[in-house]
Structure 1
Amino acid sequence: MSQNKFKLVECPRDAMQGLHNFVPTKLKSEYLNLLLQVGFDTLDFGSFVSAKAIPQMSDTAEVLANLDLSNTATELLAIVANLRGVEDAVKHEQIKYLGFPFSISETFQQRNTNSSISQSLFTVEEMLNLCNRSNKEAVVYLSMGFGNPYGDEWNYEIVEEWADILVDKGVKILSLADTVGVSTTEKIAAIMPKLLTKFDKTEIGIHLHATPSDRLDKIEAAYHAGVKRIDSALKGYGGCPMAADDLTGNIATEDVISFLNSKDEELNLNIEKWNEAMSLSGKIFG
């Protein structure tokens, strides 16, 4: 990753997965095709997980078949939660990245993937093997990376320990994920520079959840911490269903764009297509 280039990861999958009403496949595909023209580095477009657990993503393979990748440099990322999902995802040539939510909270790992941390570590190892054989790259999210609401032990040393283990296993892209919005500007400033310095050969990103009132502060903290890979979602839609506050969603992409523009960072985005996607989003999210 170029030292001066920001990797913006747009996350419509994260935004849509919790919607109660099923979004028609055609509308999903239309929305994603617009986002593919904006110029993001990566599009987190879907997931290969249990249709019973996440009904909204049951048509991911069909959506993928409807995506126009002929005129975009944006790479596709799909989320997986177990080995079966990995095996399904690697069959698709169009997908470059497989993302796995590796929780450093035992409680959340069980709730999210119905497996223990040790079982999930095995899944990561197998995912790395399959990715290597299929010319794909693994993205591991250190879920509950800024704390958890379950009383499970959390501190920076635990974050660093798991980052060490995963990097040693061969993970080249790690994203510290604030699953329920418990990150603070102080935590971001304390943790991210240490990770970026220690794992300087690893791509370290951040996936924050926030309320509208603290989004900008968290974006600014991540920027000043030196983070170059940033996950976000249009209008801040989405968020973890376990979040106590209904307003706790993703970081809003338009806030990230606005902030980075204010710092004169070169983003090379097609704002016309972005505005079209903003307009179409109303049909999906209401």
Structure 2
Amino acid sequence: MKLIECPRDAMQGLTDFIPTATKTAYLNSLLRVGFDTLDFGSFVSPKAIPQLRDTAEVLAGLDLSQTRTKLLAIVANRRGAETAMDYPEISYLGFPLSVSETFQRRNTNQTIAEALADVAAMHELCEQRGKTLVAYLSMGFGNPYGDPWGPETVAAFTRHLAALGVRVVALSDTIGASTADTIRPLFAELIPAFPQIEFGAHLHTTPGTWREKVQAAYEAGCRRFDGAIGGIGGCPMAADELTGNMPTENLLSFAAEVGEPTGLDMAAFAWARDEAAGVFGAAIH
């Protein structure tokens, strides 16, 4: 299993600003664990996400000399992607492409048509500069706005991305609405239909539903999973206050059960979890 740790998602919604030095120390502890990818920060308007206004400063303090982990930064438009191009340390750019028109406008202040135009431009830019675009299909398992949704909607977006040449697509459960009955058939349909694409699962969950979600995605062929230590973060629009990111601890437990190697340094993981408790305190699930 390929594990993507998402401290950026864990931090971005917190009201109190985490000092740059604290962020940097925590991310360095995560780099020592050996995750495949670290979703470490974002190049978006500081007015939109004030918590991550110091991403460039944090990046300058990261020790990448003895890690296999690749860095991923979230961008919300072409301007953010162009900024990220100045940093050769970053391997992946992540863009939240919503299958919900309402959420696309709320999240990136764009229509879906405008977002797709940006995706095309950003993918081309990544190809030119040796980076990879990760398209997050947010609201991928339904939305609370009444916008059209169904497996055929998600498949249509995926076909468009495949035609552009996008190679990594993460189906994103933005509000924790997914169930095994929506997760399993979607991955089971898309993975064989688009063998050139690596599909990931960015699943938000409550403590009681995580296993059925991970198991459904895994049994349908998904091997790329996003998580956050302690289940920190998630979408503020979720109705259930217990809804958060998929806890990395649970992903590791599931991987052990099914005999999937992760390649993680578990001593370093224990240290990083202690660091997380210092950063997030009582928010750790």
TM range (shorter): over 0.9
* Corresponding residue to 1:224 among 219, 222, 236: 219
Q: C-alpha displacement at 1:129, in angstroms?
A: 1.4
* Corresponding residue to 1:186 among 181, 184, 188: 181
Match of 1:201 in 2: 196
SS at match of 2:259: coil
Match of 2:45 in 1: 50
Give the distance between the partners of 1:197 and 1:266, measured in 2 at CA: 23
Following superposition of structure 1 onto structure 2, how do residues 10-29 of structure 1 map, counting pairs within 5 Å? 10-29=5-24
Give the distance between the partners of 1:265 and 1:7, measured in 2 at CA: 9
Give the distance between the partners of 2:33 and 2:103, measured in 1 at CA: 34
Q: C-alpha displacement at 1:176, in angstroms?
A: 0.5
* Corresponding residue to 1:156 among 151, 154, 161: 151
| Identity, % of aligned positions | 54
Following superposition of structure 1 onto structure 2, how do residues 1-286 of structure 1 map, counting pairs within 5 Å? 6-286=1-281
Query: What's the CA shift string for 1:210-268, capped at 9, x where partnerless?
Result: 01110111111111111011111101110012212221101100000011111121222
Give the distance between the partners of 1:285 and 1:231, measured in 2 at CA: 19
Q: C-alpha displacement at 1:189, in angstroms?
A: 1.1
Q: Which amino acid aligns with 2:5?
A: E
SS at match of 1:208: strand
SS at match of 2:239: coil
Q: C-alpha displacement at 1:67, in angstroms?
A: 0.2
Give the distance between the partners of 2:19 and 2:169, measured in 1 at CA: 32
Q: C-alpha displacement at 1:89, in angstroms?
A: 0.7
Query: What's the CA shift string for 1:47-88, capped at 9, x where partnerless?
Result: 000101100110000000000000001000000001110111
SS at match of 1:218: helix
- What is the aligned-residue RMSD (CA, Å)? 0.7
Give the distance between the partners of 1:120 and 1:93, measured in 2 at CA: 25
Query: What's the CA shift string for 1:2-29, capped at 9, x where partnerless?
Result: xxxx211100000110011100111101
Q: Which amino acid aligns with 1:119?
A: E
The count of residues paired between Structure 1 and Structure 2 equals: 281
Match of 1:3 in 2: none
Tell me which stretches of 4 or more aligned residues in structure 1 moved more than 6 Å: none
Give the distance between the partners of 2:115 and 2:56, measured in 1 at CA: 24
Question: Is the 2:200–2:225 contact (alpha carbons within 8 Å) kept by the matching residues of 1?
Answer: yes
Segments of 5+ residues of structure 2 without an aligned counterpart are: none
Q: Provide the TM-score with structure 1 as the length reference.
A: 0.97
Query: What's the CA shift string for 1:21-46, capped at 9, x where partnerless?
Result: 10011110111001111111000000
Q: Provide the TM-score with structure 2 as the length reference.
A: 0.97
Q: C-alpha displacement at 1:164, in angstroms?
A: 0.2
